[in-house]
Structure 1
Amino acid sequence: MSNCEVEIIGKPVKDMYGAPMGKILGTSTDIDGSIQTVGINCGSEGLKQIAFDQLVVQSEVVIFIPKWRLDSQRLLKQKELVIRRLNALMEIVSDNDSMKSDAEIIHEKYNTKLMTLQRTEYEITSELDNRVVEIEEQEKSVKVLLFDAKVQLKSNEISQETFDHVQNETDEMLQHMKHEKDEIAKVKSRLANLSLEDMIPKVSQSSVMPGTYLKDSSEGESAETRLPEPPISTPSPTGKTQLMAVPSQTKSSVDPESDWIKRMTSP
């Protein structure tokens, strides 16, 4: 058993917003000893197998990163790089038209890659749409539960203290869902608006090589490819779970005394 396995087994797992998921029960490794998946004991929901690259291991807690976020981050980086290379190629051709024939092969390579990324983008966008539908269904269930608690309060079946506890917990869940939906919307917007015209330097239309992907984009849109981080909120009335932001580099170490670690390790 590797040192990494020893360090993570038994640690609590939380999502990006600080909501508890369970504890790490064990790991599955490849023939070379590298960790492939991690088993999380989720209580009544049973054992969940999570890919190791979806986890960020910290000193006191392990953070779960949803797959759609990793896929979107990877696609944004790849798409930006291909577009930048196509733009650089077109700039070279515009400076020296005699090199146009020499650049055709490389241009075709990058343009084909961009078309492939467009198909991947369609698949990821569909995945994001499905996730939004799931969140909205969960929101409905939470709101029904809260409304039923209000009825029970009015009928003197539960105390005001009990109702306040239900309301605080459901409000926190709804807030988490809203932040995830907002982040998905921003990711979809960045994917849709990342095109050749968003990259600099600008290239004249006459220098564009045949078959190059050009797409209209909204004026003033940012071409930034780093995914938005979940916003950090003030403490909830109960003083329990708070929102957290995940570090941009999942493999890097983080100061155990940092604020977000303190929030993650709070009861």
Structure 2
Amino acid sequence: MSELKLEFVGKQVKDMYGTFIGKVIGIVTDIDGSIESVGVDCGSAGLKHLAYEQLLVQGDYVIYIPRWRLDAQKLLRQKNLTLMRIKALKDIVAENDSMKDDAELIYIKYEKRLNDLEKDEKYVHEKLHERLNELDKESKDVKAVLFDAKLQHRSNEITEDMYQQISIHTNELMEHINLEKSEINNVKTRLTQQTLENNAISTVSDVESTVREMPATETALQQQQGSVSRQSITPPQIVGKNVTSSAEEKPVETHADDVDDKETSWLNQVIPNNSEIST
């Protein structure tokens, strides 16, 4: 087995928001030796196979990237580029009317491409809506656990220390849920803004830079309260009680065959190279 495959086995898996998923117990490969999926022991939830392109290795952990996030990022980039080219065609015709016939043929091509992307956008919106419903249910479940713990504490069934431990863990879960919900809502807003009518067109580099620049830690989010923030995809930072830095941290490795260099650069921003997730 290659060194690359061995990097996965035995590592704990967490999602981008710090929630523990399970432990890697094996790799499923194709006949040519390429990795198809990674088997993760999720305890009572059983063995789950996670898509290889949705995983990256960061130190002692494997980080799981949700499919909705990859699909949304890809759609935003493709739609933005299509809108930019349609606008460029209109500008060319406005400057030189003799090129109208040539531009019209190309315009039809990009108009069809935009219609196809709008169908993809509808699918992504449905997935985002489903995920928001799932998060709302998880939020209610977490709050129910915390409320019951408070009730037990008031009735002297559990100690103060026990109640504080429950409170800490449930608050961490709520923090993870709220971060993901906030990011999904930002994505939905961004997709809605990308239309020809409102001319919400920016360069691909601008999209990538806003993705990297938007802070996602709890402190940064608190600092933004009361101000009008720009709507963009917020790259979440792994959330945990203890996050320590390490100068010897290995660089992030990504393995998506269908993702280009710019998307790889974006994925590398998910986990800063100088941070390490603590258990």
The 3 A distance-change label for structure 1 pair 175 and 98 is: same
Where do 5+ consecutive residues of structure 2 fail to align? 204-227, 245-251, 253-263
- Aligned partners of 1:44 and 1:14: how far apart in 2? 16
- Aligned partners of 1:54 and 1:82: how far apart in 2? 26
Where do 5+ consecutive residues of structure 1 fail to align? 202-219
Q: Does 1:26 align with 2:26?
A: yes
Matching residue of 1:47:
47
Query: Does the 8 Å contact 2:18/2:238 carry over to 1?
Result: no
Query: Does the 8 Å contact 2:35/2:52 carry over to 1?
Result: yes
- Residue identity (%): 43
Look up the SS of the partner of 1:198 in the other structure. Answer: coil
Matching residue of 2:82:
82
TM-score, structure 2 normalization: 0.77
Matching residue of 1:229:
235
Matching residue of 1:92:
92
Q: Deviations over 1:97-152 (max 9, x none)?
A: 11111122211111001011011101101110111111111111111111111111
Amino acid in structure 1 at the alignment position of 2:10? G
- Aligned partners of 1:194 and 1:223: how far apart in 2? 11
Query: Does the 8 Å contact 1:194/1:223 carry over to 2?
Result: no
How many residues in Structure 1 have an aligned counterpart in Structure 2?
235
Structure 1 residue ranges, 4+ long, deviating more than 6 angstroms after superposition: none
Look up the SS of the partner of 2:16 in the other structure. Answer: coil
- Aligned partners of 1:255 and 1:186: how far apart in 2? 21
Query: Does the 8 Å contact 2:18/2:176 carry over to 1?
Result: no
Amino acid in structure 1 at the alignment position of 2:123? E
Q: Deviations over 1:9-50 (max 9, x none)?
A: 111111112222111111112232211211111111111111
Matching residue of 1:216:
none
What's the offset of the Cα at 1:222?
5.8
Query: Does the 8 Å contact 2:17/2:180 carry over to 1?
Result: no
Matching residue of 2:200:
198
Q: Does 1:175 align with 2:181?
A: no
- Aligned partners of 1:93 and 1:190: how far apart in 2? 28
Query: Does the 8 Å contact 2:13/2:62 carry over to 1?
Result: yes
Q: Deviations over 1:37-84 (max 9, x none)?
A: 111111111111111110111232110010100000000010011111
The 3 A distance-change label for structure 1 pair 248 and 159 is: farther
Q: Does 1:132 align with 2:132?
A: yes
The 3 A distance-change label for structure 1 pair 141 and 223 is: closer
- Aligned partners of 1:157 and 1:221: how far apart in 2? 45
What's the offset of the Cα at 1:240?
7.9
Look up the SS of the partner of 1:13 in the other structure. Answer: strand
What's the offset of the Cα at 1:195?
2.2
- Aligned partners of 1:200 and 1:44: how far apart in 2? 46
Q: Does 1:71 align with 2:71?
A: yes
What is the Cα-based RMSD across aligned positions, in Å? 2.7
Query: Does the 8 Å contact 1:11/1:62 carry over to 2?
Result: yes
Q: Deviations over 1:167-204 (max 9, x none)?
A: 11011101110111000000000010012312269xxx
The 3 A distance-change label for structure 1 pair 101 and 222 is: farther
Range with greater deviation from structure 2 (182-191 or 5-14): 5-14
- Aligned partners of 1:136 and 1:147: how far apart in 2? 16
What's the offset of the Cα at 1:155?
1.3
Query: Does the 8 Å contact 2:82/2:110 carry over to 1?
Result: yes
- Aligned partners of 2:117 and 2:127: how far apart in 1? 15
Q: Does 1:188 align with 2:221?
A: no
Query: Does the 8 Å contact 1:56/1:251 carry over to 2?
Result: no
